[in-house]
Amino acid sequence: MAFSSRKPDWALIPIAPDERWSRHTDPRPNFVDLTNTIIELSGRADGDIDKVKLLTGLLNVFSAQATAYLGPSIPQFEANLDKVLGRDDFTVDMPWDFLTHFEAKGVAAYNLLVGDLTDESFISGLASAARDGSFDL
């Protein structure tokens, strides 16, 4: 049965990686570690930057890019990703694990997002924005 014929409720079901597809993914950045890296590169004191705002901004970037990659070809993708991001039991692994459930398209988007979020110029730009106090995503 193809995935598209199932309609899981992403707000409720356990979200773990789809092992059939997750083995094809690149090593992903941890959102919390990425947040800490950006703060460190900004040169500002740890307490001077709102970590929650920065982490939320990174998740917004993830959401926007994932939707750009998959939204046009997967019905209800953005709404389902919003359900994942809005879960009470949310963990930073869930958005990545969610993508593996969209088979080859999800893995392709996953790997593109790894590249996007680990790009040196992207990280440098966010660190500069954090340093200037202009980080607002």
pLDDT digits (tens, 9 = 90+) for 7-42: 899 999 999 999 999 999 999 999 999 999 999 999
Domain boundaries, the chain: 28-132
Q: What is the pLDDT of residue 5?
A: 56
Q: What is the pLDDT of residue 136?
A: 58
Read off the DSSP letter of residue 8.
-
Q: Examine the pLDDT at 135 and tell me if it is beyond 70.
A: no
CA atoms within 13 A on the CB side of 117: 29
Q: Examine the pLDDT at 77 and tell me if it is beyond 60.
A: yes
Sort 112 into a burial class: Cβ within 10 Å, 0-12 / 13-18 / 19+.
middle
Distance CA 127, CA 135 (A): 9
The four Cα atoms 80, 76, 23, 118 give a dihedral, to 10 degrees, of: -70
Q: Could you tell me where the DSSP H helices lie in the chain? A: 19-22, 31-42, 51-70, 77-85, 94-99, 103-118, 120-132
Local confidence band at 119 (pLDDT 50, 70, 90 cut-offs): very high
Over the stretch 86-109, which tens digit does the pLDDT of each residue have? 999 999 999 999 999 999 999 999
Q: Examine the pLDDT at 3 and tell me if it is beyond 70.
A: no
Residue with tokens 């992403």: 10
pTM above 0.85, yes or no: yes
Rg (CA), the chain: 16
